[in-house]
Amino acid sequence: MADNTQAAEERVLMKGNEVLAEAAMRAGCRFFFGYPITPQTELAAYMAKRLPKIGGTFLQAESEVAAINMVYGAGAAGARVMTSSSSPGVSLKSEGASYMAGADVPGVIVNVERGGPGLGGIQPSQSDYFQATRALGHGDYFMPVLAPSTVQEMADLIYLAFDLADEYRTPAMILADGMIGQMMEPVTLPPARDPKTLAAKPWATTGHKGERKHNVVNSLYLSPEKLEDTNRERFERYEQIKAKHQRQELMDCDDAEIVVVAFGAASRIARTAVRDARAKGIKCGLLRPITLWPYPTDAIDQVIANGATKFLSVELNMGQMVEDVRLAVNGRASVDFYGRTGGVLPTPEEVLDQIERLAAGQPVARSAGAKDVGSVLPQPIDRKSSYERGE
């Protein structure tokens, strides 16, 4: 994508949610449609105040369902457009997101996660990993999913999300959490782009003026063969994304025997634990996925080639990303999981304890907390009826 800018970079102290909004506008976003829900409401409030002042359109829709379909419409007309919500609100957007994917319409969806299932709670969580990476909605499709771990990355990755969406004609998601959305950190804001200088979209429904054929944006294919061909072409683009856009951060992984895998807010905690483990002489490293889809499988291959024999996935859920770690490891090393859920954050000491257990050849402990939630490792399912069990 062309990188045409208007203004120099700017260093400020801002909240994560507000940085997402400001950086989106600087990336060329001129349309925002959303609906308030904690803990992302500051993003929409910031857009409501600032977007009209630069010639953009902010609209609080009557529902999340309406908001995502407005995104579909603006994206089909070639605009850079965004919506944001938190967990249950994103679920309501799933059908519209699938329509966008089926019609090859770009747009950015932000999910500042809260605890679940259901209404859950407003504290930070990573329990929407499966929803984001296994396709948000029905049908055969994926979308780029970017996971910031700092306020600075909120700015950097929203830029990337718009570029990926436009280049590959796909929805793209920023998957953050309440902790990153609410915290304040120094951030260098990216320079502003003039939307008029962005690459043309010859497929968009912008009116033809009698100079070309009609452009049609549609996700309905009555011919099974045509739908199959369209899906296959789309998956060819997905393979290009996998080959070109895996992103991750590696810390102390050159000689690591134990590799902690964590993203977003959990990676900030894991980073401290890895440093403490190193100070105790444990050869431990951190692999932080930045793209959750495509998952950084090449980085997993790299650390295994470097000698890693044990992986520990640390997450703010009951075990989701660990499935992708297991798929990438493919039996070449052991994979364990440690997580907290419901908005509870693990301490660095908790994570360090799990690292020390692995280093000593012991199993990972049960999840810590005031109430024991049981083993964090998958347990066999007893498929007998209560009658057969004598209950």
* pLDDT given for residue 366 in this prediction: 56
Nearest to 264 by CA among 180, 194, 339, 321: 180
Per-residue pLDDT at 385 exceeds 60: no
pLDDT-derived band at 371, boundaries 50, 70, 90: very low
Residue 375 has pLDDT above 90, yes or no: no
Q: Is the pLDDT of residue 169 over 70?
A: yes
- Cis? peptide before 294, omega within 30° of 0: yes
pLDDT band at 389 (very low <50, low <70, confident <90, very high): very low
Task: Give me the pLDDT at residue 211, please.
Answer: 82
- Under the banding of pLDDT at 50, 70 and 90, the label for residue 374 is very low
* 299-321: pLDDT as tens digits: 999 999 999 999 999 999 999 99
**For the residues 44-67, what does the mean pLDDT come to?**
97
pLDDT score of 386: 44
**pLDDT (average), residues 167-176:** 98
- Taking residues 251-262, what's their average pLDDT? 98
Residue 383 pLDDT more than 50?
A: no
Sign of the torsion formed by the C-alpha atoms of 95, 98, 100 and 106? positive
- pLDDT confidence of residue 3: 44
Question: Could you check whether the bond before residue 148 is cis, i.e. omega within 30 degrees of 0?
Answer: no
pLDDT by residue (tens digit) across 146-159? Answer: 999 999 999 999 99
What is the reported pLDDT for 135? 78
Residue 365: CB atoms within 10 Å: 13
Give the pLDDT confidence score for residue 377 in this predicted structure: 38
Mean of all residue pLDDT scores within the chain = 92
Structure confidence at residue 310 (pLDDT)? 98
Instruction: Output the pLDDT for position 367.
Output: 58
pLDDT for 213 equals 87
pLDDT at res. 373? 34
Q: Of all residues in the chain, what percent carry a pLDDT higher than 90? A: 87
Domains by residue range for the chain, with CATH: 10-196+219-244 (3.40.50.970), 248-359 (3.40.50.920)
Q: How many residues does the chain have?
A: 391
If pLDDT is split at 50, 70 and 90, which confidence band does 210 have?
confident
Which is higher by pLDDT, 338 or 368? 338
**Phi, psi dihedrals of residue 356, rounded to the nearest 5°:** -65, -35
Residue 6 in this model has a pLDDT that exceeds 80: no
Q: Indicate if the pLDDT at residue 286 is higher than 50.
A: yes
